[in-house]
Amino acid sequence: MPDVDTGHRITGTVNGAAYDEVVDDRMTLADFLREKLRLTGTHLGCEHGVCGACTVIVDGAASRSCLMLAVQADGTEIETVEVLAEDGELNRLQAAFKKNHALQCGFCTSGFLMSVTAAMREGAIRDEGHAREVLSGNICRCTGYTGLVKAVLEAGE
Amino acid sequence: MKPGQFTYHAPRELGEALELLQEFGDEAKVLAGGQSLMPMLNFRLARVDHLVDINRLGGRLGEPRFDAGTITIPALVRQRQLERSEETARVLPVLTEALRQVAHPQIRNRGTICGSLAHADPAAELPSVLSVLDATFTLVSARGTRTVAAADFFLFHLTTVLEPDEILLEVSVRRPPPNQFSAFREFATRRGDFALAGVAALCEVDGDGVVTECRIAAAGVAPVPQRLRAVEGLVTGSRLGETSASEIADAARAEVEPTSDIHASATYRSRLTGVLVNRALVDIRTKQEAAHA
Amino acid sequence: MTTMIGTSVPRREDERLLTGRGRYLDDLDLPDALAAAFLRSSNAHARILQIDLSAARELPGVIAVFSGADLAEIQKPLAPKVLHPQLKDFPRLPMPPGELHYVGEPVAVVIAETRYIAEDALELIDVDYEVLPAVASTAAALEPGGPLAHSDAESNVAVLLTQSAGNTAEALRTAPNRLSEEFFVMRGGGHSMEPRAVAARYEPATGQLTIWDTTQSPHYARQQLSVIYEMAEDDIRVIAPPDVGGGFGPKAQFYGEEVVIPWVAKKLRRPVKWVEDRQENFVSAMMERSQTHRIEVGFDDDGMLLAVKDVIEHDQGAYCAGLQVPSITTATVPGPYRIPNIEIELRACYTNMVPTSSVRGAGRPQAVFAMERMMDRVAEHLGLDPAEVRFRNLIQADEFPYKVGITFRDGSPLTYDSGDFPRLLEGTLDRLGYAEARAEQAKLRAEGRYIGIGIAAYVEGCGLGPYEGAKVRLTNTGRVLVTLAAAGQGQGYETVYAQIASDGLGIDMDHIDVLTGDTSRIPFGQGTFASRITATAGPAVLDAAQQMRVRLVDTAANLLGCDPAEITFTGDRASLNGDLEKSLSLLEIARVANIGKHGITLPVGISAGLETSSYFAPERAAYASGAHAAMVEVDPETGGIEILKYVIGHDCGNVINPKLVDGQVLGGFAHGLGNAMYEEAAYDAEGQPQATSYLDYSLVSAAEVPTVELFHIHSPSPLNPLGVKGAGEGGTIPAPATIANAVEDALRPLGARVNRAPVTPARIVEAIHGDEQALAEVRGS
Amino acid sequence: MLIENSFDVDADPDRVFAFLQDAHNVAACFPGAELTEDLGNDSYRGKVKIKVGPVTAAYTGVAEVVERDAVKRVAVLRAVGKDAKGAGTAKATAMMRVTATLSGSSVSLSTDLTISGKLAQFGRGIMADVSGRMVGELATKARELIEEGEPGVAAPAAVAVEAPPMRAASILRTVLSGFFKRLLGRLRNRKTRQAG
C-alpha cells in the first residue's frame, strides 16, 4: 500500500528475476521483499540488526535487510532464501540443516541459511570454532545451535 | 519499528552531496553504511528530514589508498573490505585486529570505517584505534575542506566536530615505522556486543627495546575515546614489561571515570581498563619479540 | 511395519521452512488488511488525564484511532489463569482508560493503511498523564509504607501462601548445622524470534470472526474472547498459523492486543493485522523469573538434610496473569532430595513492571538455583564433596511413587511418579569425568587458574491436566487426518503426532496428515504450555488412532468378507493377510463408509462416518528429572567465564522422536545459559525498562553456547499409556544453578560468593573484590 | 537520577541568589531551553530541545519555582515536560542553595531528573552522561553570566527567540570555555587576594 510519499522507481534482480517497482523513501529492503515482492521467506525478528533473521545477500555480501532501504537496493542483485533450492530439491546446506535438526520453529532459519551461504562462498568452514563464528551473527532461540554447527560443518567442508 | 518520514537523496557526485547538506543543514543526515543510523531510525530515536545517501558517490571513495607515507581510508570503505585486505593486515595490523571484533560480518559488510568514526559511539572499537594511530580526519563541506586530528575529532557520545553540512571524507594515518607495534583488546559480555571496555595501544621501540613513543586509548569508559596519558608516560622511556602490571593498572584506573550502567559498574569498568591495558601491552611485547626473534 | 514411536523420523515441517515457504502470521495474504500499532504507556504508573487523538486521526492514511475509553465495551478483566482464594486480584483490562501500571501497557490503537503510517500517527497522539509513584522491585513492593503499584490497593501483596511438611521450625532449631542465604534470580523474557501477532477478519454475512493468533492456546483465547465479546464460541474461530516462530511461554498468555484487534476489525469491517515489533515485545510480552529466595537449611554432620525453609518473594509484575509460576516454584524447591521437614513461604507481590507469567522453565530455575546453591554450601561447610552430599540425600529408585508432602501447581499432592535420580547423577558425573575433573582442578588451581565444577539436579512437574484431545478421521480423499487442539511453535507436531498415529493405526506415516491449532476443527483444547502436550495429546492421539484402526479393520473385513484379525495394512491398502489381490485402499473404504451413495442403504455391518476422537485427562502431573554438570574456568581479572565441559543427563520417560527431544533439551539449555550468564530485563527505580533492545539484552549466539554432552535415561511414566513426560524445559531449569555453582567453586580460593543469576563478568569481579559500593551502583541503576 | 553540581562565583551571595531564582535566567543558562509563556505565580511554559548526534527530543512543559527562601538562599524549581513526538516525559526538580564564601558565593545545585520513554530505556548510561553535561552546562553558564555582571541578561521571553537545541558539541565547547574562564577566574582570584 502506498505511503504518502510519491516514491522512487527502482530496478534490479531478486533471485535472478528482474523487478521494476516504485517504493517509498523510507521503506526498508526487508519490507520491500516481503510486501512488494511477496518473498515472505525473509523474516523480521528485531529490526535493529542484531537477530539476523532478515539476512539476505546483496551483491554477494550477507546484509541485514532491516538496515537497508529498498531504494538503496536499486541496481543490485539480491538473493533470498527462496533461491537456494535447486530444481525443487533442497540444496546441500538446506539438506544438512534438515538432517541435523538445525531448525525448530524455522523463523530464524532463512537468515542463518543466507549468512552461511555467503560465508561458504568465501571458503571452506574449517572446524567447529569457525562454524560457530560464522553462525554467531544470527540468533536462534530454539535449537541451542548444536544442529546448526553440525549442519554447517557437514555442508561447509 | 518503522522509520519516520524523510526525503531520500542519492547524489552521484560529491559536490551534489555537499550542496544538499548545505541546503538542509541540521535537517539532513549522511547515510553511509547505515548500520548504526538505521537502527536508530527504526527505533525512531533518530529523526531526519533529509537522508543524504553517499553510497552512490562510489569509485574513489570506496578504495583505501596505501601510499608511500600515508594510508588513507575514504568514506565508503567497508569494514569487512578492510578487514579482509592483506595490505591492511600487513601495515595496520591493529586495525585488522579491531575490525574482527566489530559486531558481526553481516554488519561489517555494509558498515564503513568513516561511518563508525562519524557516529562516534564511545564504546565502538574504531574511534579508539584511530586515536592511537593519530589519524587525521578530512572533513569536507561546500564551504571547503579542513583536517582535524583524532584527538580533536570526538566531542561526546555520538557527537564529533563535524558540522551538519560536513562529510567525513576520509581518514588517514601515517605509514607506521617498522619499530611500531600495536594491539587492540576489548571485553564484551557476548560476542558482537558493545564492549564493557576496550583498549587500543601502540608503542614505538628503539634498538634497545626502549619505548620511545606510546599511545593508548580506552573505549567505553568515557563519552569519547580516552587517551591514557599517565599510562603512556609510565610506559615511555622504559622497556616493555619493566613497569609492573599493577602500577600500570592503577594508573589506568585512576585515569578513567566511567559511568555505571545496567551492564557494569564504573568500578568494574575502571578495573577492566587496567586489565586490558596490561594485556594489550603484553600483546605488543609479544609482537615486538617475535619481530626481533 | 516398524514402530514409529522411538524413531528419529526427519521432520515434515522442514522442507517448507528451509525454502522460505513457511506460513507465519505476518505472511498471511489478507487482501485489504489494515495495519495496527499501539500507543503504549511510557510511564510505569500513571493515570490518563486527557487523551487527544484528533491529530492522529487526521493524518492521511489513518483509518481509525481508538483509546481505551473509545472501546469501553471490551474493557473487561483478562482473568488470571491460576487463582487462589486469597489472591488479591486487580483487573487487567485490554486497554485501560484510566490508571496504567507498567511501561508498555496499551493506551490507544491506530489503524492505518501501513504500519509506517500507523507509527507516524502514534507520534501525534497527545496524552496528559498524572505520573504516580512506581514500584520497581519486590523489595520496594514489600517495604512498609512504600508506594503502591495500584493506587487503590491496601498493599502490594498479591498473595501470601505457605506450604509445609513436618515441623520445620523445630527441625531447624535442633539441627546440628544450619546455613542460610539470600539468592536473587533476575527477570528475563521468552524472546521467541517471531514476536506476537494477531490478525482478524469479520464476516458480516455469517457474523463470524476469524482470528489468526500466534498464541500457544487458541482454545483458551477463543473462550476468553467469547466471554468478553459476548459472542458464541462457534462464531469465533481462532487459528494459530501452521508456523509460529517460537513460543516459550509468553505466547501461552492472553493479552489485551488479542482482544482489541479482532474487535476493531469487526467495527471497521476490514481485516486488521497487528505484528508486534521487537521494541513492543520488550515492554509488553510477559516475562518471568525475578524472585528473591531467603533459604535456610538444617543438616547433620554427614550432610543429611533435616529441614529446609525458603521464603520466596515473587514479582508478579503489574497484574496477576496467574499464580502458576510461583506455585511451581514452591513445589520445585525440594527437587530430588529427601527432606523430612520443609516449609515454603510465598510472598507474591505487585510491581509496576510488565506482568510475569511462564517463560520456559516457569518458576523452576529459581527454585533449583536456591536449593542447589545451598547443597554446595552444605558440602563446603562440612568439607565434603558436593556430589557426595547430593548422593546421600537423593530419593532412591525404589521409592516411587514418592510423596513429597506438599502440593503441586495442578492441585494434586506432589507425588513423583517415576525416575532414577542416583543413576541420572552418576551418569552425568561419569560423562563429565568427575574424579579426573577434580584432579585437574586441583592441579590448575596450584598454577593459579580458577577452575570450577558445578552440579545441579532437579525434578520437573510436567504433563499437566486438565486434558488434551485429538480427532482422527479418514478423509474422503483416503488419507488419515489427525487433528489436535494444541498449537505448535516449532516442536514438530506434524511429525511427532503422525508417528504416534502411525503406531496406533498400524498404517504408514505417509498416509497420515496432522493439523493443529484451529478451534473450528476440534471443539475442546487447552494449549501448549508446561511441557504437557506429549503426555496429554500423545495418549489422546494414540487412543483415537487405535479406535480408528478398529473401525478401518472392521470395515475392510466386512467388505472383504473375512475376519478382522486377518486384516493387515500395506501402504494405504487393507488386505487379507497381505494379499493385495484381496485388498482395499483407504480411499475405497472412505467411498463406502464416508462418501456413500446418495439414497442407497449402506452395506450390512458397515458403520458410517470414519471419525474417532479421544480426550486424555491425566490423573495428575508427571515428573521428569535431570542433572547438569559443568566445568568452567573463570578469569578473575575480567570476570569472563569459559565453559570447558557441560553434561546433561535427562529423563523424560519414553521418547517419541529422540532427535526432536534432544533438540528440545539443547535449545532449552541455551535459554538456561542465557539466564545463567546473560539475560537481564533490568528496570530502573522508576520502573523504566533499561534493556529494550538486543543491544542491551543479550541472547546467546553459537559463540557462547558450548558443545554439550547429552544423555537420557528412560523411566516411563505410569500415568499415561505412552509412558512419556515433558521435555521442553529440562534443559533450561538447572542451567543457572549449575553455572553459579561452578563459578563459585572456581572462585572458592578467593572466597567470592555467587548469589545472583545471571552471573555476569562485572558481578564476578565485584564479588572477588567485595565491592559493596560497586554492587550497590549496579543494583541502583 | 540525581545530579550534584557545585561551583564558586565571584559575586555577592544575595546577588547570585537573586539571579538564580529568576526562571528566565535559569532558562537562559540551560542548554536548549527557552521560556515561551509566563503563566504567573512563578510559573512558566517552556521547552527544552536535546540533540545527541542523530538522537533528538523536544520537551514542552511547565516550569515553576515551588520553593523560595531568600534568607537561607534556597530555591526549588520544578519542571515537567513531554516530548513533542510522544517519546516520553521528563521531570526535573532542581534545588539551588547559595552560600557565602570568602571570595564570594558557592552555589550547590542538586537536580533530580526523571526521564520516561524511549530515551530513558537504553541501558548504556548515555542519558546519565547527557544529563550530567546539561546540568554542568547550566552551572557554567550561570557562573559566566553572573560574573559578567548581567543578571538581567535574559530578557523576559514573551517574544521567545528560537533557542538552539542542546547540542552536545556546543555543550562541550561551553564547558571547555567555562573551564578556561574558571582558570582565569582562579588566577584573577589569586591576584585579587594578593592585591588585597
Q: Which residues, numbered 190 to 209 in chain B, qualify as contacts with chain C under a Cβ-Cβ cut-off of 8 Å? A: 190-194, 196
**Residue A107 and residue A125 in one domain:** yes
User: Band of the pLDDT at D25, cuts 50, 70, 90?
Assistant: confident
Q: What CATH number is associated with residue A66? A: 3.10.20.30
Among A46, A69, A116, most C C-beta atoms within 10 A, so best to mutate, is A46
Closest residue to B104, CB basis, from A26, A71, A137: A137
Contact C365, C672 (CB under 8 A): yes
Residue C766: list chain B partners with CB under 8 A: 265, 267-268
The pLDDT score that the predictor gives to residue B59 is 80
Burial tier of D63 (Cβ tally within 10 Å: 0-12, 13-18, 19+) = buried
C476-495: pLDDT as tens digits: 999 999 999 999 999 999 99
The amino acid at residue B219 is: A
Query: Which structural domain range is residue A99 located in?
Result: 92-155
Q: What is the pLDDT of residues C593-640, one digit of tens each?
A: 999 999 999 998 899 999 999 999 999 999 999 999 999 999 999 999
| Least confident piece of the model among A36-45, B188-197, B205-214, C567-576 | B188-197
Out of A97, A105, A147, the one facing C193 most closely (by C-beta) is A105
B1 belongs to a structural domain: no
- Report yes or no: C416 and C404 within 8 Å, Cβ to Cβ: yes
For residues B64 and B167, membership in a common domain is answered with yes
Pairing state between β C236-239 and C208-213: parallel
Q: Collect all residues with Cβ–Cβ distance below 8 Å to B165 and sequence separation of at least 6.
A: B18, B21, B22, B25, B141, B142, B143
Position D195 confidence tier, pLDDT thresholds 50, 70, 90: very low
Q: CATH no. for residue A101? A: 1.10.150.120
pLDDT in tens, C192-215: 999 999 999 999 999 999 999 999
Q: What is the pLDDT of residue C543?
A: 97
- Is residue D122 pLDDT above 90, yes or no? no
Question: Where is the domain boundary, A64, A83, A102?
Answer: A83
- Within this chain, do residues A22 and A77 fall inside the same structural domain, yes or no? yes
**Chains in contact with A via at least 3 Cβ–Cβ pairs below 8 Å:** B, C
| Residue A76 touches chain B, beta carbons under 8 Å | no
* Together in a domain, A49 and A101: no
Q: What residue numbers bound the domain in which B95 lies?
A: 59-172
Model confidence band, residue C531 (pLDDT cutoffs 50, 70, 90)? confident
Most confident stretch, A28-32, B260-264, D13-17, D66-70: A28-32
Residues D145 and D194 in one domain: no
Both A104 and A41 in one domain: the answer is no
Question: Is there a single domain that holds both residue A31 and residue A58?
Answer: yes
Are B25 and B113 within one domain? Answer: no
Q: How many CB pairs under 8 A join C and D?
A: 50
Interchain pair C692, D121: CB under 8 A: yes
Q: What is the pTM of this model?
A: 0.95
CA distance C121 to chain D (A): 10
Quote the domain boundaries for residue D190.
166-196
Q: What is the pLDDT of residue D123?
A: 64
- The answer to whether D171 contacts B156, with C-beta atoms less than 8 Å apart, is yes
Q: Which residue do the cell numbers 487405535 mark? A: C546
Using a pLDDT cut of 90, give the percent of chain D over it: 21
Give the count of domains, chain B. 3
Please write down the HEC assignment for all residues of chain B: CCCCCCEEECCCCHHHHHHHHHHHHHHEEEECCCCCHHHHHHCCCECCCEEEECHHHCHHHHCCEECCCEEEEECCCEHHHHHCCHHHHHHCHHHHHHHCCCCCHHHHCCCEHHHHHHHCCCCCHHHHHHHHCCCEEEEEECCEEEEEEHHHHEEECCEECCCCCCEEEEEEEECCCCCEEEEEEEECCCCCCCCCEEEEEEEEECCCCEEEEEEEEEECCCCCCEECHHHHHHHCCCECCCCCHHHHHHHHHHHCCCCCCCCCCHHHHHHHHHHHHHHHHHHHHHHHHHHHC
Q: How far is C311 from chain D (nearest CA, A)?
A: 31
The pLDDT assigned to C266 comes to 98
Domain match, A71 and A13 both: yes
Which residues of chain B are within 8 Å of residue D129 when distances are taken between CB atoms? 156-157, 223, 259
The residue among B149, B172, B195 that closes a domain is B172
Contacts of B6 in chain A (CB under 8 A): 25-26
Which residues, 6+ apart, have CB-to-CB distance to C141 below 8 Å?
A: C135, C149, C156, C157, C315, C349, C350, C351
**pLDDT over threshold 70, residue D175:** no
Angle between helices A109-122 and A92-99 (to 10 degrees): 130
Closest-CA distance of chain C to residue A20, Å: 21
Q: Say yes or no: B200 and B286 in one domain.
A: yes
Query: Facing residues of C516 across strands?
Result: C484
Is residue B2 domain-resident?
no
Contacts of D89 in chain C (CB under 8 A): 42-43, 129, 131
**Chain D residues contacting C via beta carbons under 8 Å:** 85-89, 91, 114-118, 120-125
Q: Which residues have C-beta within 8 Å of that of residue C539, sequence separation ≥ 6? A: C614, C616, C720, C721, C722
Q: For residue A98, tell me if it sits in a domain.
A: yes
- Do B164 and B184 fall into the same domain? no
pLDDT of C256 > 80? The answer is yes
Looking up residue B15, the CATH number of its domain turns out to be 3.30.43.10
Supply the CATH number for residue B187's domain.
Answer: 3.30.390.50
Average pLDDT (C661-690) is 96
Q: Among D119, D123, D168, whose Cβ lies nearest the Cβ of B263? A: D123
Question: Residue C778 is nearest to which of B194, B260, B272, comparing CB atoms?
Answer: B260
Query: Which grid coordinates belong to B173?
Result: 594515518
pLDDT of residue B286: 96
Domain match, A18 and A71 both: yes
Do residue B104 and residue B33 come from a single domain? no
| AA letter at D71 | V
Whether ipTM tops 0.85, in short, is yes
Of A47, A98, A146, the CB nearest to C18: A98
Q: Is residue D36 located within the same domain as residue D113?
A: yes
- Nearest in space to C15 (alpha carbons), one of B5, A109, B168: A109
The least confident of A7-16, B215-224, C51-60, D121-130 is: D121-130
In chain D, the residue whose alpha carbon lies closest to the alpha carbon of B153 is D169
Q: What is the CB neighbour count within 10 angstroms for residue C148?
A: 18
pLDDT for res C714: 97
A16 and A73 co-located in one domain:
yes
Per DSSP, the three-state class of C364 is helix
Please report whether residue A38 resides in a domain.
yes
pLDDT value, residue D169: 45
- Asked whether residue A111 is assigned to any structural domain, the reply reads yes
C778 to chain B: which residues are within 8 Å by CB?
A: 260, 262, 264-265
Total structural domains within chain A: 2
- CB-CB neighbors (< 8 A) of D126 in chain B: 157-158
If asked whether residues D144 and D172 sit together in one domain, one would say no
Does some domain include residue A136? yes
pLDDT at A3 over 80: no
Same domain for D90 and D175: no
Residue C141 has a pLDDT of 97
Exposed/middle/buried for D43, CB within 10 Å: 0-12, 13-18, 19+?
middle
What CA–CA distance (Å, rounded) separates B143 from B141?
A: 5
D145, D152, D130, D153: which is closest to D181 by C-alpha? Answer: D145
How much of chain C exceeds pLDDT 70, in percent?
98
Whether A108 and A41 map to the same domain: the answer is no
Residue D165's pLDDT is what?
53
| Contact criterion met (CB < 8 Å) for A115 and B106 | yes
pLDDT recorded at residue C771: 65
Both A27 and A78 in one domain: the answer is yes
Looking at the structure, do residues B114 and B132 belong to the same domain, yes or no?
A: yes
D116/D174 same-domain check: no
Q: Position C754: which residue type? A: V
Q: What is the mean pLDDT of residues C587-598?
A: 95
Interface contact flag, A137 B103, Cβ < 8 Å: yes
In 3D space, the residue among A118, A133, A131 whose CA is nearest the CA of residue A157 turns out to be A131
Q: Are residues B186 and B283 in the same domain?
A: yes
Based on the fold, state whether residues D100 and D151 are members of the same structural domain: yes
Domain co-membership, D14 together with D60: yes
Answer yes or no: do B113 and B29 share one domain.
Answer: no
Contact across the interface for A68 and B38, Cβ inside 8 Å: yes
pLDDT, average across residues D132-147: 87
Q: Are D54 and B46 an interchain contact pair (Cβ–Cβ within 8 Å)?
A: yes
- C311 Cβ under 8 Å from any chain A Cβ: no
For residue B127, cis peptide bond before it (omega within 30 degrees of 0): no
Chains C and A: 3 or more CB pairs within 8 Å of each other: yes
Q: Is the pLDDT of residue D125 over 80?
A: no
pLDDT of D178? 39
**Unique residue bearing C-alpha cell 487447552:** C526
Residue D28 near residue D41, CB atoms below 8 Å:
no
Task: Report how far apart the first and last C-alpha atoms of chain A are (Å, whole number).
Answer: 44
- State how far Cα C213 lies from the chain centre: 17
Q: How far does C705 lie from chain B, in Å, by closest CA?
A: 11
Q: In chain B, which residues have their Cβ closer than 8 Å to the Cβ of D133?
A: 156, 223
Residue C198 CA to residue C34 CA, distance in Å, equals 12
Sequence-ordered list of residues with C-beta below 8 angstroms from that of D110, at least 6 positions apart, any chain:
D2, D3, D4, D5, D94, D95, D97
Q: What CATH number did the domain enclosing D124 receive?
A: 3.30.530.20
Residue D54 has pLDDT above 80, yes or no: yes
> C480 is written with which cell numbers?
488419515
Instruction: Kindly tell me if the per-residue pLDDT of D120 is higher than 90.
Output: no
* Residue A1 included in any domain: no
Q: What is chain C's mean pLDDT, rounded?
A: 96
Question: Same domain for D58 and D86?
Answer: yes
| Residue type at position C273 | K
Give per-residue pLDDT as tens, C286-296: 999 999 999 99
Q: Is B13 on the interface with C (CB under 8 A)?
A: no
Residues D55 and D120 in one domain: yes
Q: What is the mean pLDDT of residues C171-187?
A: 98
Say how many domains are in chain D.
Answer: 2
Is residue A129 a part of any domain in this protein? yes
C-alpha cell recorded at residue C286: 510477559
Q: Are residues D29 and D89 in the same domain?
A: yes
> Which partners does chain D have (≥3 C-beta pairs < 8 Å)?
B, C
Does residue C421 carry a pLDDT above 80?
yes
**Do B193 and B284 sit in the same domain of this protein?**
yes
Which among D55, D118, D171 has CB closest to B158?
D55
CB contacts of C696 in chain D (<8 Å) are 122-124
Do B133 and B211 reside in the same domain of the chain?
A: no
CATH assignment at residue B107:
3.30.465.10
Instruction: Please tell me whether residues D154 and D185 are part of one structural domain.
Output: no
For B202-240, letters b (16+ CB in 10 Å) and e give bbbbeeebebebbbbbbbbbbbbbbbbeebbebbbeeeb
**Residue B127 resides in a domain:** yes
Is the residue at B149 inside a domain?
A: yes
Going from the first residue of chain B to its last (293 residues), give the mean pLDDT of each consecutive group of 10, the final group possibly shorter. 97 97 96 96 94 92 96 97 96 96 95 97 95 98 97 96 97 96 95 92 95 97 96 97 96 95 94 98 96 82
CA distance C763 to C760: 5
Tell me, yes or no, whether D173 and D122 share the same domain: no
